[in-house]
Structure 1
Amino acid sequence: MSYTSIHEYSRKWIFTHQSMPLPEADLELIKPMSQARAAQLWKEQVSATSPDAARFSSQDWPAKESNWSETINWMTEWDSDENDMPPALLQYIDWQDDVTVYFCYEKYNILETKWSVFKKHWKNFLFYDDGPILIGKKRAQALWFQEDGTVKLGQRR
Protein backbone atom coordinates (compact mmCIF):
# COMPACT_ATOMS: atom_id res chain seq x y z
CA MET A 1 0.00 0.00 0.00
CA SER A 2 1.42 3.37 -1.04
CA TYR A 3 -0.71 5.63 1.17
CA THR A 4 -2.27 5.79 4.59
CA SER A 5 -5.54 7.53 5.32
CA ILE A 6 -5.32 11.18 6.29
CA HIS A 7 -7.50 10.21 9.24
CA GLU A 8 -4.72 7.89 10.49
CA TYR A 9 -1.93 10.40 9.82
CA SER A 10 0.03 11.30 12.96
CA ARG A 11 -0.05 15.01 12.12
CA LYS A 12 -3.68 15.09 11.02
CA TRP A 13 -4.35 17.85 13.56
CA ILE A 14 -2.54 20.39 11.35
CA PHE A 15 -5.39 20.00 8.87
CA THR A 16 -8.22 19.81 11.40
CA HIS A 17 -7.04 22.48 13.86
CA GLN A 18 -9.98 24.63 14.96
CA SER A 19 -8.29 27.81 13.74
CA MET A 20 -7.86 26.51 10.16
CA PRO A 21 -9.85 23.33 9.52
CA LEU A 22 -9.96 21.98 5.98
CA PRO A 23 -13.24 20.98 4.37
CA GLU A 24 -13.59 17.20 4.22
CA ALA A 25 -13.42 17.25 0.40
CA ASP A 26 -9.99 18.92 0.50
CA LEU A 27 -8.82 16.76 3.40
CA GLU A 28 -9.43 13.67 1.27
CA LEU A 29 -7.12 15.08 -1.43
CA ILE A 30 -4.12 15.02 0.94
CA LYS A 31 -2.51 11.59 0.85
CA PRO A 32 0.14 10.69 3.42
CA MET A 33 2.56 8.21 1.88
CA SER A 34 3.35 4.95 3.61
CA GLN A 35 6.83 4.97 5.14
CA ALA A 36 8.14 2.65 2.43
CA ARG A 37 6.71 4.77 -0.41
CA ALA A 38 7.93 8.01 1.22
CA ALA A 39 11.44 6.60 1.64
CA GLN A 40 11.48 5.55 -2.02
CA LEU A 41 10.36 8.97 -3.28
CA TRP A 42 12.80 10.76 -0.93
CA LYS A 43 15.67 8.59 -2.17
CA GLU A 44 14.79 9.14 -5.84
CA GLN A 45 13.81 12.82 -5.73
CA VAL A 46 15.52 14.43 -2.72
CA SER A 47 18.44 12.51 -1.20
CA ALA A 48 19.84 9.02 -1.51
CA THR A 49 21.69 9.26 1.80
CA SER A 50 20.25 11.91 4.14
CA PRO A 51 17.11 11.25 6.22
CA ASP A 52 16.11 14.91 6.61
CA ALA A 53 16.95 18.46 5.58
CA ALA A 54 19.26 19.00 8.55
CA ARG A 55 21.63 16.30 7.32
CA PHE A 56 21.92 16.83 3.58
CA SER A 57 25.30 15.87 2.18
CA SER A 58 27.21 17.95 -0.33
CA GLN A 59 26.05 15.47 -3.00
CA ASP A 60 22.35 16.20 -2.44
CA TRP A 61 20.83 18.74 -4.83
CA PRO A 62 19.21 20.79 -2.01
CA ALA A 63 22.63 21.31 -0.38
CA LYS A 64 24.06 22.96 -3.49
CA GLU A 65 23.67 26.74 -3.25
CA SER A 66 23.78 27.01 -7.05
CA ASN A 67 20.36 25.33 -7.18
CA TRP A 68 18.72 28.18 -5.24
CA SER A 69 18.10 31.50 -6.95
CA GLU A 70 16.28 33.53 -4.32
CA THR A 71 15.16 33.52 -0.69
CA ILE A 72 11.96 35.27 0.38
CA ASN A 73 9.99 35.64 3.60
CA TRP A 74 6.83 33.54 3.97
CA MET A 75 6.14 34.15 7.65
CA THR A 76 4.55 37.56 7.16
CA GLU A 77 1.79 36.10 4.97
CA TRP A 78 1.49 33.04 7.22
CA ASP A 79 0.86 35.29 10.24
CA SER A 80 -1.69 37.44 8.41
CA ASP A 81 -5.45 36.91 8.39
CA GLU A 82 -5.35 36.46 4.61
CA ASN A 83 -4.95 32.96 3.20
CA ASP A 84 -3.01 33.90 0.08
CA MET A 85 0.47 32.54 -0.49
CA PRO A 86 3.28 35.06 -0.83
CA PRO A 87 2.99 36.55 -4.35
CA ALA A 88 6.64 35.77 -5.13
CA LEU A 89 5.93 32.05 -4.61
CA LEU A 90 2.95 32.14 -6.93
CA GLN A 91 5.02 33.94 -9.57
CA TYR A 92 7.84 31.45 -9.27
CA ILE A 93 5.69 28.32 -9.27
CA ASP A 94 3.48 28.63 -12.34
CA TRP A 95 2.13 25.09 -12.30
CA GLN A 96 -1.38 24.11 -13.36
CA ASP A 97 -3.73 23.38 -10.47
CA ASP A 98 -3.82 19.64 -11.22
CA VAL A 99 -0.05 19.11 -10.94
CA THR A 100 0.80 16.47 -8.33
CA VAL A 101 3.02 17.87 -5.58
CA TYR A 102 4.97 16.24 -2.81
CA PHE A 103 5.44 18.06 0.48
CA CYS A 104 8.48 16.37 1.98
CA TYR A 105 8.91 16.83 5.73
CA GLU A 106 11.60 14.13 5.88
CA LYS A 107 12.42 10.68 4.51
CA TYR A 108 9.47 8.87 6.09
CA ASN A 109 6.94 11.70 6.14
CA ILE A 110 5.75 12.91 2.74
CA LEU A 111 2.32 14.17 1.72
CA GLU A 112 1.01 14.00 -1.83
CA THR A 113 -1.65 16.38 -3.07
CA LYS A 114 -2.46 18.70 -5.97
CA TRP A 115 -0.96 22.16 -6.42
CA SER A 116 -4.44 23.70 -6.05
CA VAL A 117 -4.88 22.08 -2.62
CA PHE A 118 -1.42 23.11 -1.46
CA LYS A 119 -1.94 26.72 -2.58
CA LYS A 120 -5.27 26.90 -0.79
CA HIS A 121 -4.07 25.35 2.48
CA TRP A 122 -0.34 26.13 2.50
CA LYS A 123 -0.56 27.53 6.04
CA ASN A 124 -1.66 24.16 7.39
CA PHE A 125 1.25 22.35 5.75
CA LEU A 126 3.65 24.83 7.37
CA PHE A 127 2.56 24.22 10.95
CA TYR A 128 5.73 22.11 10.83
CA ASP A 129 8.40 24.29 9.25
CA ASP A 130 11.53 22.30 10.06
CA GLY A 131 12.95 22.31 6.55
CA PRO A 132 10.21 20.80 4.37
CA ILE A 133 10.69 20.76 0.62
CA LEU A 134 7.92 21.08 -1.95
CA ILE A 135 8.51 19.45 -5.31
CA GLY A 136 6.20 18.82 -8.23
CA LYS A 137 5.89 15.64 -10.24
CA LYS A 138 8.03 16.00 -13.37
CA ARG A 139 8.77 19.65 -12.48
CA ALA A 140 12.16 21.26 -11.92
CA GLN A 141 11.10 24.07 -9.57
CA ALA A 142 11.33 23.46 -5.85
CA LEU A 143 10.61 25.34 -2.63
CA TRP A 144 12.60 24.74 0.56
CA PHE A 145 10.90 26.23 3.62
CA GLN A 146 13.17 27.27 6.48
CA GLU A 147 12.42 27.52 10.20
CA ASP A 148 13.39 31.20 10.18
CA GLY A 149 10.33 32.05 8.08
CA THR A 150 12.08 32.15 4.74
CA VAL A 151 11.76 29.93 1.70
CA LYS A 152 14.37 29.19 -0.93
CA LEU A 153 13.25 29.18 -4.56
CA GLY A 154 15.20 26.82 -6.71
CA GLN A 155 15.60 24.10 -9.28
CA ARG A 156 16.19 20.40 -8.82
CA ARG A 157 19.33 19.43 -10.72
Structure 2
Amino acid sequence: MYQSLEQFSKSWIFKRNDPKVEPEDLLQICLLSEQRAAQIWRDYISDEQIHPDHLSDKDWPKKDSAKVPDGKLYWEKAWDSEEASLPDEVLTHFSAWGEDTTVFFCCHNELVFELPWGVFKRTWKAFLFLDNGPILVGKKKKQAAQFHTNGWGNLLFRGV
Protein backbone atom coordinates (compact mmCIF):
# COMPACT_ATOMS: atom_id res chain seq x y z
CA MET A 1 0.00 0.00 0.00
CA TYR A 2 2.90 2.37 0.79
CA GLN A 3 6.48 2.64 -0.32
CA SER A 4 9.41 4.38 1.28
CA LEU A 5 9.78 8.08 0.54
CA GLU A 6 13.40 7.19 -0.23
CA GLN A 7 12.06 5.41 -3.33
CA PHE A 8 10.80 8.75 -4.63
CA SER A 9 13.33 10.27 -7.03
CA LYS A 10 12.62 13.78 -5.72
CA SER A 11 12.63 12.93 -2.01
CA TRP A 12 15.04 15.85 -1.58
CA ILE A 13 12.02 18.20 -1.52
CA PHE A 14 11.23 16.91 1.97
CA LYS A 15 14.82 17.15 3.22
CA ARG A 16 15.55 20.80 2.47
CA ASN A 17 16.05 23.40 5.17
CA ASP A 18 13.89 25.81 3.20
CA PRO A 19 11.12 24.90 3.34
CA LYS A 20 11.77 22.77 6.41
CA VAL A 21 9.68 19.64 6.93
CA GLU A 22 9.82 18.65 10.57
CA PRO A 23 10.65 14.98 11.31
CA GLU A 24 7.27 14.36 12.97
CA ASP A 25 5.51 15.65 9.83
CA LEU A 26 7.76 13.62 7.54
CA LEU A 27 6.64 10.47 9.36
CA GLN A 28 3.04 11.21 8.34
CA ILE A 29 3.75 11.77 4.63
CA CYS A 30 3.07 8.48 2.91
CA LEU A 31 4.07 7.70 -0.66
CA LEU A 32 1.51 5.27 -2.06
CA SER A 33 2.58 2.17 -3.93
CA GLU A 34 2.07 2.50 -7.69
CA GLN A 35 -0.93 0.13 -7.51
CA ARG A 36 -2.59 2.06 -4.68
CA ALA A 37 -1.76 5.39 -6.38
CA ALA A 38 -3.42 4.17 -9.58
CA GLN A 39 -6.53 3.19 -7.62
CA ILE A 40 -6.73 6.59 -5.85
CA TRP A 41 -6.15 8.37 -9.16
CA ARG A 42 -8.99 6.40 -10.79
CA ASP A 43 -11.33 6.92 -7.84
CA TYR A 44 -10.61 10.60 -7.20
CA ILE A 45 -9.25 12.13 -10.43
CA SER A 46 -9.83 10.24 -13.69
CA ASP A 47 -10.50 6.71 -14.83
CA GLU A 48 -9.38 7.53 -18.39
CA GLN A 49 -6.35 9.83 -18.16
CA ILE A 50 -3.08 9.18 -16.31
CA HIS A 51 -1.65 12.71 -15.92
CA PRO A 52 -3.12 16.16 -15.21
CA ASP A 53 -1.80 17.43 -18.57
CA HIS A 54 -4.06 14.92 -20.33
CA LEU A 55 -7.30 15.62 -18.49
CA SER A 56 -10.18 16.28 -20.87
CA ASP A 57 -13.56 17.95 -20.58
CA LYS A 58 -14.94 14.55 -19.51
CA ASP A 59 -12.86 14.67 -16.32
CA TRP A 60 -14.37 16.56 -13.37
CA PRO A 61 -11.38 18.94 -12.79
CA LYS A 62 -11.91 20.40 -16.28
CA LYS A 63 -15.68 20.81 -16.00
CA ASP A 64 -17.04 24.30 -15.47
CA SER A 65 -19.36 22.91 -12.79
CA ALA A 66 -16.28 21.94 -10.71
CA LYS A 67 -14.76 25.41 -10.74
CA VAL A 68 -15.34 27.66 -7.75
CA PRO A 69 -16.52 31.14 -8.79
CA ASP A 70 -13.53 33.46 -8.37
CA GLY A 71 -11.53 30.34 -7.50
CA LYS A 72 -8.43 31.15 -9.54
CA LEU A 73 -5.54 32.07 -7.27
CA TYR A 74 -1.89 32.97 -7.55
CA TRP A 75 -0.16 30.67 -5.04
CA GLU A 76 3.43 31.35 -6.06
CA LYS A 77 3.64 34.72 -4.28
CA ALA A 78 2.85 33.03 -0.93
CA TRP A 79 5.21 30.17 -1.81
CA ASP A 80 8.08 32.61 -2.44
CA SER A 81 7.38 34.63 0.71
CA GLU A 82 8.64 34.12 4.25
CA GLU A 83 5.04 33.41 5.29
CA ALA A 84 4.58 29.72 6.07
CA SER A 85 0.81 29.62 5.69
CA LEU A 86 -1.15 28.57 2.64
CA PRO A 87 -2.86 31.47 0.84
CA ASP A 88 -6.02 32.62 2.63
CA GLU A 89 -8.21 31.62 -0.32
CA VAL A 90 -7.03 28.02 0.01
CA LEU A 91 -7.53 27.96 3.78
CA THR A 92 -11.03 29.37 3.40
CA HIS A 93 -11.93 26.87 0.68
CA PHE A 94 -10.82 23.95 2.86
CA SER A 95 -12.07 25.38 6.16
CA ALA A 96 -14.51 22.50 6.69
CA TRP A 97 -11.65 20.00 6.83
CA GLY A 98 -10.35 18.85 10.19
CA GLU A 99 -6.62 18.67 10.88
CA ASP A 100 -6.79 14.87 10.65
CA THR A 101 -8.73 14.73 7.36
CA THR A 102 -6.91 12.32 5.03
CA VAL A 103 -5.78 14.11 1.89
CA PHE A 104 -4.28 12.86 -1.34
CA PHE A 105 -1.79 14.97 -3.27
CA CYS A 106 -2.18 13.47 -6.74
CA CYS A 107 0.65 14.19 -9.19
CA HIS A 108 -0.24 11.48 -11.71
CA ASN A 109 -1.57 7.94 -11.72
CA GLU A 110 1.62 6.43 -10.26
CA LEU A 111 2.57 9.27 -7.88
CA VAL A 112 0.15 10.02 -5.05
CA PHE A 113 0.92 11.06 -1.48
CA GLU A 114 -1.38 10.45 1.47
CA LEU A 115 -1.18 12.60 4.60
CA PRO A 116 -3.32 14.46 7.13
CA TRP A 117 -4.59 17.91 6.15
CA GLY A 118 -2.80 19.49 9.12
CA VAL A 119 0.53 18.12 7.88
CA PHE A 120 -0.15 19.34 4.33
CA LYS A 121 -0.89 22.84 5.64
CA ARG A 122 2.54 22.91 7.32
CA THR A 123 4.47 21.29 4.43
CA TRP A 124 2.69 22.63 1.35
CA LYS A 125 5.73 24.52 0.13
CA ALA A 126 7.71 21.28 -0.18
CA PHE A 127 4.88 19.65 -2.12
CA LEU A 128 4.66 22.53 -4.57
CA PHE A 129 8.10 21.77 -5.91
CA LEU A 130 5.86 19.26 -7.74
CA ASP A 131 3.78 21.93 -9.44
CA ASN A 132 3.01 20.32 -12.79
CA GLY A 133 -0.75 20.21 -12.25
CA PRO A 134 -1.15 18.12 -9.09
CA ILE A 135 -4.60 17.93 -7.57
CA LEU A 136 -5.25 17.98 -3.84
CA VAL A 137 -8.36 16.09 -2.74
CA GLY A 138 -9.68 14.96 0.61
CA LYS A 139 -11.04 11.54 1.41
CA LYS A 140 -14.84 11.74 1.09
CA LYS A 141 -14.63 15.54 0.68
CA LYS A 142 -15.88 17.74 -2.14
CA GLN A 143 -13.28 20.52 -1.91
CA ALA A 144 -10.20 20.21 -4.15
CA ALA A 145 -7.46 22.35 -5.66
CA GLN A 146 -5.13 22.08 -8.63
CA PHE A 147 -1.72 23.77 -8.76
CA HIS A 148 -0.06 24.77 -12.02
CA THR A 149 3.58 25.41 -12.96
CA ASN A 150 2.81 29.04 -13.87
CA GLY A 151 2.10 29.81 -10.20
CA TRP A 152 -1.67 29.79 -10.57
CA GLY A 153 -4.15 27.37 -9.11
CA ASN A 154 -7.82 26.54 -9.25
CA LEU A 155 -10.12 25.91 -6.32
CA LEU A 156 -12.50 23.14 -7.25
CA PHE A 157 -15.46 21.08 -6.08
CA ARG A 158 -15.78 17.45 -7.01
CA GLY A 159 -18.72 15.11 -6.68
CA VAL A 160 -18.25 12.64 -3.83
Shorter-chain TM-score tier:
over 0.9
Displacement of 1:16: 0.4
Superposed structure 1 runs of 4+ greater than 6 Å apart: none
Q: Check if 1:46 corresponds to 2:39.
A: no
Task: Quote the Cα distance in structure 2 between the aligned partners of 1:72 and 1:22.
Answer: 24
Q: Check if 1:104 corresponds to 2:106.
A: yes
What residue identity is the alignment partner of 2:102? T
1:123-150 per-position Cα deviation (integer Å, ceiling 9, x unaligned): 0000110000000000000001111111
What residue identity is the alignment partner of 2:27? E
Counterpart secondary structure, 1:26: helix
Displacement of 1:6: 1.8
Task: Quote the Cα distance in structure 1 between the aligned partners of 2:76 and 2:20.
Answer: 19
Match of 2:144 among 142, 145, 148: 142
Please identify, of 87-96 and 56-65, the stretch whose mean Cα deviation from structure 2 is larger: 56-65
Task: Quote the Cα distance in structure 2 between the aligned partners of 1:7 and 1:134.
Answer: 22
Counterpart secondary structure, 1:103: strand
Within 5 A, what are the aligned runs for 1:10-29? 10-29=9-28
Task: Quote the Cα distance in structure 2 between the aligned partners of 1:7 and 1:107.
Answer: 19
1:36-80 per-position Cα deviation (integer Å, ceiling 9, x unaligned): 100011011100010111101221101112211110111110000
Task: Quote the Cα distance in structure 2 between the aligned partners of 1:133 and 1:6.
Answer: 19
Q: Check if 1:121 corresponds to 2:154.
A: no
Question: What 5-or-longer segments of structure 1 have no aligned partner?
Answer: none
Task: Quote the Cα distance in structure 1 between the aligned partners of 2:136 and 2:2.
Answer: 18
Within 5 A, what are the aligned runs for 1:90-101? 90-94=91-95, 95-101=97-103
Counterpart secondary structure, 1:71: strand
Displacement of 1:5: 1.5
What residue identity is the alignment partner of 2:83? E
Contact 1:97 1:114 in 2 (8 A): yes
What residue identity is the alignment partner of 1:116? G
Count of aligned pairs: 156
Contact 1:49 1:57 in 2 (8 A): no
